[in-house]
Amino acid sequence: MTSSRFAVTARFDVIPGKEAVFMKIMKAQAENSLSLEPDCHYFDICVDVENPGRIILYEAYSDAGAFEAHLDSRHFAEFLEAIAPLITGKVIERWHRV
C-alpha cells in the first residue's frame, strides 16, 4: 500500500430527521471511494456523540492529486447531488499527514 500523506476532514450538518438517509448515502460513498480509488486509503465516518446530525469524515489519500481525482469522480458528483437536500452546511479541511 502506498503511504498516505494527504488527509481531509469533512463535517456535515444534517437536517434533523434526515440522518438515516444521509448515512446510507455516506456509507455508499465511503465504499465507492475505497473500492474505486486506489489512492484513497482511509474513509472513516464518525457521528457526534451528542448530535447525530453532525457527521465528520476522515479521509487519507496518497497525495493532493489523488484527492483532486476524488473530487472529479462521477461517484463524488452523484454523492453531492444526493446529499444537497439533506444538509444545512459542510466544512472541508485539507491536511498534510506527518
Indicate whether this model's pTM tops 0.85.
yes
C-alpha to C-alpha distance for 86 and 59, rounded to whole angstroms = 21
pLDDT of residue 31: 97
Task: Give me the residue spans of the domains in the chain.
Answer: 6-96
CATH fold of the domain at 6-96: Alpha-Beta Plaits (3.30.70)
Select from 23, 18, 21, 66 the least CA-distant residue to 41.
66
Give the three-state DSSP class for 43. strand
Q: What nine digits make up the cell of 43?
A: 474513509
Dump pLDDT digits (tens) for 54-72. Answer: 999 999 999 999 999 999 9
Question: Which residues, 6+ apart, have CB-to-CB distance to 20 below 8 Å?
Answer: none
Helices (H), the chain: 19-36, 64-72, 74-83
| 8 A C-beta contact, residue 75 and residue 45 | no
Question: What is the pairing mode between strands 54-61 and 6-14?
Answer: antiparallel
What share of the chain has pLDDT > 70, as a percent? 97
Dump pLDDT digits (tens) for 25-34. Answer: 999 999 999 9
